[in-house]
A and B are shown apart, each in its own frame.
Chain A
Amino acid sequence: MPNDRVVEAPVLEARGLTRRFGAHTALNHLDLTVRPGEVVCLLGANGAGKTTTLNLFLGFLEPSEGQALVLGKPVLEDAAAARAALGYVAEVVNLYPTLTGAENLAFFHALSGAPELGKAERDVLLASLDFPVAALDRPAGTYSKGMRQKLGLAIAVARKARGILLDEPLSGLDPKAANDLVAVLKRVAADGVALLISTHDIFRAKEVADWIGIMTHGRMVDRRAAADQSAPELEQVYLTHMAERAA
């Protein structure tokens, strides 16, 4: 079952959100809400419109129609305010390889304008995200992908983001690292942070999400509560939609 926080006002909301690139419609009238503590996964193949959705919430793209709202305010009106409330974790968290993990974290944290992160506070945060604190003084170029994902998540959490957008965060992780990250994401959500995750990993989506939206060709064609479906059922639904779309 989705958690108890769903009655709160949404952190992220899409109303008929549409984005076209010339004749191609990348996102077609998407309606979506993500409330505090809620985890929503957008499930779909490459080109389904998942990343376009995240870019519209971050204000990197302008909608062709409809609205993307963050904390009830249209992103288009104040993209900076929207970004101030959000965190972002890319498929591959790109850090500065010659800077240490601590320096990378301090840099991105300082950019947000949030109060300086004390060492003790930082270490507690990183420990809560299962990041090995001892590795903080190593150059980030030596980090595994899992470590970089966790540090990327730490950057978002440290600034007390109300919502975090994650673009294929589990892609390319080994099973243990993926499991660890799923556990961490659940803990972050339990603290009241809204998570919107794009992924094409049905099984991990089922593990982490409250809701799963299946997207094909820019449309959300199905929306289901993760708890109501088993992973094989979800896979069957997903494959059916893919086949219908292909037909």
Chain B
Amino acid sequence: MSASPARVLARKDARELWRDRRLVLATVLTVLLALAAVVSTWVQVSAYERDRLAAAAMESDSWLSQGPRDPHSAAHFSQWAFRPMTAPGLLDPAATAHAGSAVWMEAHARNPAAFRAVEDRVGALELGEFSLAWVIQTLVTLLLIVFAAGAVARERERGTLRLMLASARAGGFVLRGKVLGLLTIAALIVTPLLIAAGAAVALSPAALSADAVVRVLLWCLTHAVLLAIVILIGVAVSARSRSSAAALAVGIGVWVVAVPLAPRAAASLAETVFPTPSGERFWAAAQKDIHDGIDGSGTAEERSATLRAGLLQRYGVTTIEELPISFRGASLDASERFSNRVFERRWAMLEGTEDQQRAVIRAFSVVSPVIAVQNLSAAFAGTDNAHQRDFTRQAEVERQRVVNALNNDLTVNGVGQPAYKADARLWRSLDGFRVQPMPVASALAQVWPDILILLIWLIGAGLLAIRAGRTLRPELPQ
């Protein structure tokens, strides 16, 4: 049985590209760049994981060996929560370098994550992360735009389109063949990158799990869909162009808008419309809430007086010295619980602003599928804002657990003992916090709008290509 005309055409295209060395050159360059990206990311991740494990061990040792101490003093002595790097993070570090990697879990304050990798870098190098995701989203898409521009228009220019259409037993095969050929080329270029990335992920010092494997597969699928969209649009543009130069001009224009421009413009507009409050303003507002109170709860002094009155009434005594619990411990505990409410409120406002920013950025997906791909890529790599938020929330839950336990220990055991000191037994019971990785199902729940957007783009690009195929003529009307 003879091959379909579309396959025949795809094979012919591949052979032509191979003969004139364009494909070889493009593949070699892309593979070299991708290998450099994978190796550099792997080195960074390895260094980060090494440092994290060393710091975590040192931190644990420091916590356990702090000796007898007032529990509240220990709450201020505090601990650090370190964010672990996930294996798929190698594929797309996204904003990891700009996000803090450790949270200081101290009493009275929910601190933001600190120690951003960018702080240790030379400013001039801050031109964006060089990663496998960048290579595919930026470089491979550009290469495919260049290849797709000539796909049909070049056949038209040199007159072979007329002979092809006249030779085939059925119409509509040209676009199918061109898309098939370009998909093969994309696979040729990308497969070595994915093999290298897969090897890097497997060799990663970060933990590799079934969850990580699913994430890597979803990440690959996301980028395959992006490349398919680029090919479908590129071929449709080529089919509607008089010359490959005209198709290239349109293709590059679309690429400039979709890849470098739209994501940046979206982020810039989002920040303008919904500005993130400065750290100074955020902390000043939180401190004001703590001091002046929220929701009619009164000032710190009024809340303290209310607590005192309440405890005296509850235990039927007239002085705090007669209380069966440590008033200092109870007071610290109440203060902590109030500040927790304040921080939850303030952080919710901050996260609300981030969500609004994300909605604005997502709206730009109308002009660029790359925005949805960037969101999905970071989500599957475990390096997006949702994962960072999950990490800081876990750290906050742990902070509250530790501080509450320390305050509770003081409240129960510090009765009539102003100089009460807890010992290593308590420190040991509160050691060993490990951040749990966010399951891929939770990550998917965060990015379903992006999946939907990407599918709409894929269907739209497919319809555009089908229409271009149905109306394909050897020459375009003047």
Contacts and interface: CB of A to CB of B under 8 A. Distances in A.
B9 A111 contact: yes
Nearest to A88: B166
Interface residues of A, number: 32
B295 interface: no
B12 interface: yes
A99 B15 contact: yes
18 contacts: A60-B162, A83-B165, A83-B169, A84-B169, A92-B159, A94-B163, A98-B19, A103-B15, A108-B163, A110-B3, A111-B8, A111-B164, A111-B168, A111-B173, A112-B167, A113-B5, A113-B169, A113-B170
B16 interface: yes
B473 A60 contact: yes
Contacts of B477: 21
Nearest to B173: A111
B474 interface: yes
Contact size range, B: 20 to 34
Interface in B138-165: 158-160, 162-165
Contacts of B168: 80, 83, 111-113
Contacts of B8: 107, 110-111
A237 interface: no
Interface in A74-110: 79-80, 83-84, 86-88, 90, 92-96, 98-99, 103, 107-110
Contact of A60 (B5, B16, B170, B474): B474
The residue among A79, A83, A103 with the most chain B CB atoms within 10 A of its own CB is: A83
Contacts of A87: 166-167
A200 interface: no
A21 B171 CA distance: 24
A157 interface: no
A58 interface: yes
B160 A111 contact: no
B119 interface: no
A191 interface: no
A84 B168 CA distance: 7
Nearest to A58: B166
Contacts of B280: none
B20 interface: yes
A80 B169 contact: yes
A87 B166 CA distance: 7
Given A94-B158, A98-B16, A98-B19, A152 B163 contact: yes
A90 B161 CA distance: 11
Contact of A115 (B2, B15, B166): B2
Contacts of A94: 158-160, 162-163
Given A60-B474, A93-B163, A111-B168, 12 more contacts: A58-B165, A60-B162, A79-B171, A80-B170, A87-B166, A88-B166, A96-B160, A103-B12, A111-B5, A111-B169, A111-B173, A113-B169
A83 B9 CA distance: 18
Contacts, number: 82
Interface in B443-474: 473-474
Nearest to A89: B163
Given A94-B160, A113-B2, A116-B2, A99 B19 contact: yes
Q: Which 6 pairs from chain A and chain B are nearest by CB?
A: A94-B159, A88-B166, A98-B19, A113-B169, A110-B8, A84-B169
Interface string B183-217: 00000000000000000000000000000000000
Interface string A227-242: 0000000000000000
Contact of B167 (A98, A115, A159): A159
Given A98-B20, A110-B8, A113-B5, A60 B167 contact: no
Contacts of B2: 110, 113-116
Nearest to B477: A21
B3 A88 contact: no
A96 B163 contact: no
A112 B169 contact: yes
Nearest to B164: A111
Given A60-B474, A96-B16, A111 B167 contact: yes
A116 B1 CA distance: 9
Contacts of A108: 163-164, 167
B156 to A, nearest CB: 10
Contacts of A58: 165-166
A92 B160 CA distance: 10
Nearest to A165: B166
A138 to B, nearest CB: 13
B167 A155 contact: yes
A109 B159 CA distance: 17
A98 B158 CA distance: 13
Nearest to A167: B162
The residue among B5, B12, B173 with the most chain A CB atoms within 10 A of its own CB is: B12
Contacts of B9: 111
B272 to A, nearest CB: 50
Contacts of B3: 110
